A and B are shown apart, each in its own frame.
Chain A
Amino acid sequence: MNLPDGVSSNEFAAAVDALKKAVGNQWVFTEDRHVDTYRDYYSPLSGAESEGVPSVAVAPSNTQEVQKVVRIANQYGIPFWVNSTGKNYGYGGPAGIVKGTMNIDLKRMNRVLKASEKHAYVLVEPGVSWLDLHAYLKEKDIKLWLDPPAPAWGSVLANAVERGVGYTNYCERVHYICGMEVVLPDGELVRTGMGALPTSGELWQGFPTGQGPYVDGIFTQTNVGIVTKLGLHLQPEPPVYLAGDVIGPDYESMIPLLDVMRPMRHAQIIHNNASLYPFYKDGGIVTISTEDPAKIHRWSNLIGFYGLPGQVDAQWEYVQDVYAREMPGVQFAGRRYEAPHTDLERRIHPLDIQRAGIPKMLPYEHEAYMSIIFPFEGQAAMDVITEFNKVAQKYGRRYGGTLMHAENPHALITTSGMSIRPRDTQFNGITHKILEEWVDVSTENGWGAYRSHVTVMDKAQKAYSFNNHSLNRMNERIKDALDPNGVMAPGKNGIWPKRYREAT
């Protein structure tokens, strides 16, 4: 048993008894064979001395039980980490940072509480996966489209609050969040936006704020509250969906593809996350990469248009005109799907699935991620690959680039991965070093973390150091105010509660 620091075995046993009373015996997992399923075997630190091996897992079934569990954690000073589906691989599995953490598993909270075609939103609990929600909407014949990441077995709610992105025109997910229910680290229950108005009804998912400060942001990538319900606006099924591929002729075409796209992305003529995908010479598409740049043959912009027939046709025609004028050698492929979309999944072209918001699974390959934000400029994207490859080569590895995400019209994001070999601590230690050096090289170049693996997030956050780390110091003040006993997700995104700061 990996007890948390400062908690005696007697205190821990008393806490476990209290947890069993709160959620039922069968939903408190203390045996190693169960607790071990909450470890992250694909972490760079898996098997290392510093791996955050949990002590116990507890699975509440509703908000009230979450409150009870959180209050028990406070009473006994037990740190906890929260997972919804535990599938955020690349950034981390279900496990936390600190050894002996109690894992709060929200998978049993898997209800779609509301799905309104009339007002184009859903209200979901944390355990609902993208696959679950897709099946639910299909079963009820609710004509709303999703915007899943890939692969789609993860939580809708958690992906939104971790500020995940998709590939449709609703890709900047955080902007489509509308209303949260949050259990604060001391057990207090809060509803944000219109949800604080007890009589608001569906308006909770109608307007993202009420009057006063807009606090939803502090509950994203957070350790100051467990989001137990989340409203999310969804796209109504469009009359026409047109998938347009802009195909660059070679590896270097990445630069003009991005630069030509930029003004059209600003103007929302290109409105989706028109990610730039690398393709191999044999035609394979790279979705996550540690490959050699020399193997990448060319890049394609995968654009999606959603709307009325004349509208999407005009957009696609304009986009082709602009690229053809600015980029000799560019090629195009367009595929057009008209409503009704009832059998879309059976007839859709494989490259168009993601842009249509249809959730799918992919085989899992082991990588740890460092995702960075950098300027929306083609040369900057090339510089990221070059600099990251230099770091990788220092350690005998290679990095050839991966998707360039354009979910924001004004800056790009790329999720760079480095391989993990299960149970090979030496190999994975090098992966960890590379991720850390990617943070350094990013900081030197003015690029910053968007998200990073749990084992790197502390270092990545320290780079945001303006005025002697005043942003992080402010976050710590918020943390200490809302989590006075310092129990929730210590160290998540570099934010440590007072008792851990004093201990170091």
Chain B
Amino acid sequence: MIRLIGVVLLGLSVSVCAEDSEPAHPGQAAYDRVCAMCHAPTAFVTMMLDMKYKGRPPGDLAYRPHLTPEYIKQVVRYGPPQGGMGPFRPTEISDEELDAVAQYMMVLIEKAKAVPWRPMMPPGAPPGPPPGPGQQAPTPDKGKQK
């Protein structure tokens, strides 16, 4: 069962970028290609996880300091023990790329320690019922309302 509670993410295209002054981490390219579609801080799935778990644990994986490179590699290749993500094959991410991504995650976790965690929620739209009559539409609605 998948539940879209009320409102979903508005910005879909996201990636995690190193600060301008830093050279890109060797794991960043593969992370952006393979992981960010679901796990970027503002990704739809991150938000869904925050709605589901209420921060226990946080949807943004950078706020899960218990993660280890070995665990990350195991989960990426074969899925989490409790389920939740499909395995990624070596054609999707090579062993070398996976090593680098696991190290990159450690960098993201370290950086996240400086910024308090906040749940990822839809911009300006707390969870609630889906739109019904009388709710504000994002663009002027010229259709008939009854």
Contacts and interface: CB of A to CB of B under 8 A. Distances in A.
A131 interface: yes
B12 A345 contact: yes
Interface in B52-108: 52, 77-79, 81-92
B2 interface: yes
Interface string B129-145: 11111010111111111
Q: Looking at chain B, what size class is its interface with the partner chain?
A: 35 or more
Contact of A29 (B7, B87, B90): B90
Nearest to A83: B89
B23 interface: no
B143 A283 contact: no
Contact of B1 (A27, A288, A337): A288
B10 interface: yes
A88 to B, nearest CB: 10
Interface in A290-320: 290-291, 300, 313, 316-317, 320
Given A131-B37, A285-B4, A363-B48, A336 B139 contact: yes
B126 to A, nearest CB: 11
B5 A283 contact: yes
B133 A41 contact: no
B44 A345 contact: no
Nearest to A309: B142
Interface string A122-139: 000000000100010010
A402 to B, nearest CB: 9
Interface string A79-114: 000000011010001100000000001011000000
A57 B89 contact: yes
B131 A348 contact: no
A37 B37 contact: no
A289 B2 CA distance: 7
A108 B1 contact: no
B116 interface: no
B42 to A, nearest CB: 12
B30 interface: no
B2 A353 contact: no
Interface centre among B7, B128, B139, by most A CB within 10 Å? B139
A417 B4 CA distance: 17
Q: Interface size bucket, A side?
A: 35 or more
A363 B130 contact: no
A347 interface: yes
B130 A34 contact: no
B86 A316 contact: no
A82 B40 CA distance: 30
Contacts of A135: 13
A284 B45 contact: no
Given A37-B77, A37-B89, A333-B133, A316 B1 contact: no
B48 A351 contact: no
B45 A363 contact: yes
A466 interface: no
Interface string A326-338: 0000011111111
B83 A42 contact: yes
Nearest to B77: A37
Pick from A29, A37, A38 the residue with the most CB of B within 10 Å.
Answer: A37
Interface in A20-46: 27, 29, 33-34, 36-39, 41-42
A361 interface: yes
A333 B89 contact: no
Contact of B5 (A284, A300, A313, A417): A284
A286 B1 contact: yes
Contacts of A362: 2, 4, 44-45, 48
Given A291-B1, A316-B144, A334-B141, 15 more contacts: A41-B87, A42-B79, A94-B89, A108-B91, A283-B5, A285-B3, A313-B142, A316-B143, A320-B144, A334-B144, A336-B137, A348-B10, A364-B85, A421-B83, A422-B82
27 contacts: A27-B91, A33-B77, A37-B77, A42-B79, A242-B143, A284-B5, A285-B5, A286-B2, A287-B4, A317-B143, A320-B146, A334-B144, A336-B141, A337-B139, A349-B131, A349-B137, A350-B9, A350-B10, A353-B8, A353-B12, A361-B37, A363-B49, A365-B2, A417-B1, A421-B83, A422-B81, A422-B82
Q: Name the 6 nearest CB pairs between A and B, nearest first.
A: A283-B129, A334-B143, A350-B8, A422-B83, A107-B91, A284-B3
